Amino acid sequence: MERPEHMRVVITGGEGFLGRRLTASLLRQGTLRAADGQSQSIDRITTVDVVPPSLQKDPRLVAIVGDITDPALLLRAIDPDTTAIFHLAAVVSGLAETAFDLGMRINLDATRGLLDACRTSGARPRLVFTSSVAVYGPGAGLLPDTVLDTTAVAPMSSYGTQKAIAELLISDYTRKGFVDGRVLRLPTISVRPGKPNAAASSFASGIVREPLNGEPAICPVDPDTRLWLLSPATAIECLIAGHDMPAAALGSNRVVNLPGLSTTPREMVAALGRVAGPEVSRRVSWERDPRIERIVATWPGAWDTTRARALGFPGDDSFDTIVRRYIDEEMGAEQT
């Protein structure tokens, strides 16, 4: 296959938390690696979302606003010249559990539709898909202390089930040659700026973000619940690294458990106190919510990342570093 003279990128969920950051990062970087390992200039980024674009105008940006489950919309976004797709569009865990039909439609049906749009267009792009710790199960006390790449998935939530099925679909469409798929299992992302969302993991950002903003925060799980975390900035680095990875390095196993930090809410609040002061960490209170605990208990608190590290995926040094980076990059930006 001849090396493309350009990179044309599609980002689904382009107006989401990670989507906006990925788009901005790719615009700054200006290149991605092609199949031959050479850097190629990005001349078009098409974002797909249900809300209008918020990023500053850039001649390389094209925004498609609409329902990602619409086959006609997907065929507008994905054409024979599409070289890369970052499939980030999703309904978050808590909402997927309570709004079953919506979760199935966005998390599963839209993924199948996107894969078929790739097959129909003949583009055969590199496809990076964000999966989740939620594919594992069946919960605390039954999972091994450290989940291995070979640990079987047995999700105990609708969100986890939808992500696990999508993983299998991407692996099979890759085997058939319709896409060059890369499934990246993300840890819980913390610290997210902005308002709380419907994700069961929302507290993992709220217990840092709200106290730093001078507001109280409630942790709805046991303080010693073990969580697997990754900072937003490192998550974006991992997405780009996952795209640029040579297909041969991944082989037939296209699923990678990304590096993260294994920590607990108690340790997170202690880190907050070390970085921002004890008066800030005292704004966190503890009030367990059985609904949130049931979901979070099905997630592993640590996993083996030997393969991810060998492949060159980055990770975070400590939660103290994550808190400092949030203060510097997010809160500093808000004040300027």
Active site residues: 159
d(CA 325, CA 329): 6
Contact 128, 184 (CB under 8 A): yes
Q: What is the 3-state secondary structure (H, E, C) of the chain?
A: CCCCCCEEEEEECCCCHHHHHHHHHHHHHCEEECCCCCEEEEEEEEEEECCCCCCCCCCCEEEEECCCCCHHHHHHHCCCCCCEEEECCCCCHHHHHHCHHHHHHHHHHHHHHHHHHHHHHCCCCEEEEEEEHHHCCCCCCCCCCCECCCCCCCCCCHHHHHHHHHHHHHHHHHHCCCCEEEEEEECEECCCCCCCCCCHHHHHHHHHHHHHCCCCEEECCCCCCCEEEECHHHHHHHHHHHHHCCHHHHCCCCEEECCCEEECHHHHHHHHHHHHCHHHHCCEEECCCHHHHHHHCCCCCCECCHHHHHHCCCCCCCHHHHHHHHHHHHHHHHHC
d(CA 151, CA 20): 32
d(CA 205, CA 272): 11
Helices 17-29 and 232-244 pack at an angle, to 10 degrees, of 60
Q: Parallel, antiparallel, or unpaired: how do β-strands 39-49 and 31-33 relate?
A: antiparallel
